[in-house]
Amino acid sequence: MLGQMMQMPLLISSLIVHADKYHGDIEVVSGLSDGSIHRYTYTDAHKRARQLANAFDKLSVKIGDRIGTLAWNGYRHLELYFGISGIGVVTHTINPRLFPEQINYIINHAEDDYVFFDLSFASLIENLAPHCKQVKGWIALTDRIHMPEMKTANVLCYEDLLNAESDDFEWPSFDENTASSLCYTSGTTGNPKGVLYSHRSTVLHAYAIALPDCLSLSARDTVLPVVPMFHVNGWGLPYGCAAVGAKIVLPGPCLDGASLFELFEKEKVTMTAGVPTIWLGLLTYLQQNKLKLSTLKRMVVGGAACAPTLMRSLEEEQGVEVLHAWGMTETSPLGTTCILKAKHATQSKEQQYAVKTKQGRAVYGVEMKITDNDGRELPCNGEAAGNLLVRGPWIAREYFKGDGSPLTADGWFPTGDVASIDADGYMQITDRSKDVIKSGGEWISSITLENTAIAHPAIAEAAVIGIHHPKWDERPLLLAVKKSNVDVSKEEILHFFEGKVAKWWIPDDVVFVDQLPHTATGKLLKTKLREDFSAYKLPTT
| Binding residues vs ligand AMP (CB under 6 A) | 185-186, 232, 302-305, 324-329, 333, 359, 415-417, 429, 432, 521
- Residue 414 C-beta: closest distance to ligand AMP, Å: 10
Catalytic residue among 267, 330, 461, 474: 330
The DSSP H or E segment spanning 93 is: strand 90-93
Residues in the chain: 541
Instruction: Compare residues 293 and 311 and give the one whose CB is closer to ligand AMP.
Output: 311
Using left for φ > 0, alpha for ψ between -120 and 50, and beta otherwise, residue 332 falls in: left
3-class state of residue 110 by DSSP:
helix
Four-point Cα dihedral 211, 215, 216, 222, nearest 10:
-140
For residues 236 and 416, what is the distance between their CA atoms, to the nearest angstrom?
Answer: 22
Q: Is 343 exposed, middle or buried (0-12, 13-18, 19+ CB in 10 A)?
A: exposed
Contact by Cβ (8 Å): 366, 332: no
CB closer to ligand AMP out of 106 and 125:
106
Annotated catalytic residue: which of 443, 482, 500, 527?
Answer: 443
In the complex, least distance from residue 487 CB atom to ligand AMP, rounded to whole angstroms: 30
The one-character DSSP state at 227 is S
**Region label for 445, one of left (φ > 0), alpha (ψ between -120 and 50) or beta (otherwise):** beta
Nearer to ligand AMP by Cβ, of 278 and 325: the residue is: 325
CB of 169 to ligand AMP, least distance (A): 34
Buried b (16+ CB within 10 A) or exposed e, 62-85: eeebbbbbbbbbbbbbbbbbbbbb
Rounded to a whole number of angstroms, the minimum distance from the CB of residue 133 to ligand AMP is 29
Work out how close the CB of 382 gets to ligand AMP at its nearest, in angstroms, rounded to a whole number: 16
185 part of the active site: yes
| C-alpha to C-alpha distance for 377 and 202, rounded to whole angstroms | 30
The residues near 475 (Cβ < 8 Å, ≥ 6 apart) are 437, 439, 466, 467, 469, 507, 508, 538, 540
CB-based contact 405:342 (threshold 8 Å) = no
C-alpha–C-alpha distance, residues 330 and 159, integer Å: 34
Q: Least distance in Å: CB of 522 to ligand AMP?
A: 9
* CB-based closest residue to ligand AMP: 329
Residue with Cβ nearer ligand AMP (297 or 432): 432
Whole-number Å distance between alpha carbons of 91 and 229: 11
Closest to ligand AMP by CB, 324 vs 456, is 324
User: Which of 242/520 has CB closer to ligand AMP?
Assistant: 520
DSSP 8-state class, residue 323: E
- Closest CB to ligand AMP among residues 344, 432: 432
Helix (H, G, I), strand (E, B) or coil at 381: coil
Kind of pairing between the strands at 179-184 and 194-198 = antiparallel
What are the φ and ψ backbone dihedral angles of 54, each rounded to 5 degrees? -65, -35
Select 245 or 276, whichever has its Cβ closest to ligand AMP: 276
Q: Assess contact for 46 and 22: CB atoms under 8 A.
A: no
Contacts for 361 with CB less than 8 Å, ≥ 6 apart: 213, 336, 337, 338, 339, 424, 425, 426, 427
Of the listed 69, 91, 178, 185, which one is catalytic?
Answer: 185
Cβ neighbours of residue 268 under 8 Å, at least 6 residues apart?
222, 295
Q: Shortest gap between Cβ of 185 and ligand AMP (angstroms)?
A: 5
- Taking the complex as a whole, the smallest distance from the CB of residue 397 to ligand AMP amounts, in Å, to 16
Catalytic residue list: 185, 330, 438, 443
